Chains A and B, each alone.
Chain A
Amino acid sequence: GEQVEQRPPHLSVREGDSAFITCTYTDPNSYYFFWYKQEPGASLQLLMKVFSSTEINEGQGFTVLLNKKDKRLSLNLTAAHPGDSAAYFCAVSVPGTGSNRLTFGKGTKFSLIP
């Protein structure tokens, strides 16, 4: 089955700096990719949904990059601010299973250096 590896497990940067979180996956048929954000003690909120036909997706304060050749999904927080402190999870879905079954990375705990 699909395997998803997420790095790094912990990440701290100064306010205003950029940060990268990367996931690699194994199934070349993977088609849907997700980044979820989880604030302490809270549920998972969808940050961005990416389809394999688009390599670069921009959100408010972040960019998601998909490299299908290398089977790599990246989240770039472009200018970190306090509201970004949270855990981030990537997730991958294979179409045709009919189950919306997602395989998650183990997460990255992101924080700002005071």
Chain B
Amino acid sequence: EAAVTQSPRNKVAVTGGKVTLSCNQTNNHNNMYWYRQDTGHGLRLIHYSYGAGSTEKGDIPDGYKASRPSQENFSLILELATPSQTSVYFCASGDAGHNTGQLYFGEGSKLTVL
């Protein structure tokens, strides 16, 4: 049973449009993360959250917003999508209590901005 689920799995958007990527986790983890994966760059952290109501900037936050309305849900928002944001986006959750750093990843969301 998938513990971290993302939607949509595939999305085509137009330049300047708004895109929302959603993530739901049933691990009861405090921490959640949004990464993007691009060839030659590996995974880069966009935003993360320590719990409901909190969002923090990662390494590449420009052009993205995040929202954590509940323990289970963490959204990534592109208010004005650009072609440079074409990528595969991964959501992950982690247990802050153990503080081991292990993350559990969703299946990924492929975004194409035309």
- Report which A residues bind B (CB closer than 8 A): 1, 6, 9, 32, 34, 42-46, 49, 89, 91, 93, 95-96, 98-102, 104-107
Contact = CB atoms under 8 A, between A and B. Distances in A.
B8 to A, nearest CB: 15
Contact of A93 (B35, B40, B90, B101): B101
Contacts of B34: none
**Could you say which of B44, B56, B96, B105 has the most chain A C-beta atoms within 10 Å of its C-beta?**
B105
A89 B105 contact: no
Given A43-B105, A49-B102, 8 more contacts: A9-B40, A43-B106, A95-B101, A100-B33, A101-B33, A102-B45, A102-B103, A106-B42
Interface in B42-85: 42-45, 48, 50, 56, 59
Contacts of A102: 45, 101, 103
B101 A100 contact: yes
Contact of B40 (A32, A34, A89, A106): A106
Contacts of A104: 35, 42-44
Nearest to B41: A106
Contacts of B101: 32, 34, 91, 93, 95, 100-102
A43 B100 contact: no
B29 to A, nearest CB: 9
Given A6-B42, A89-B43, A101 B99 contact: no
Given A93-B101, A99-B96, A105 B42 contact: yes
Given A43-B90, A44-B90, A95 B48 contact: no
A44 B105 contact: yes
Given A99-B96, A104-B42, A107-B42, A46 B102 contact: yes
Interface string B82-114: 000000001000111001111101111000000
Contacts of B40: 9, 106
Contacts of B31: 99-100
B96 A100 contact: yes
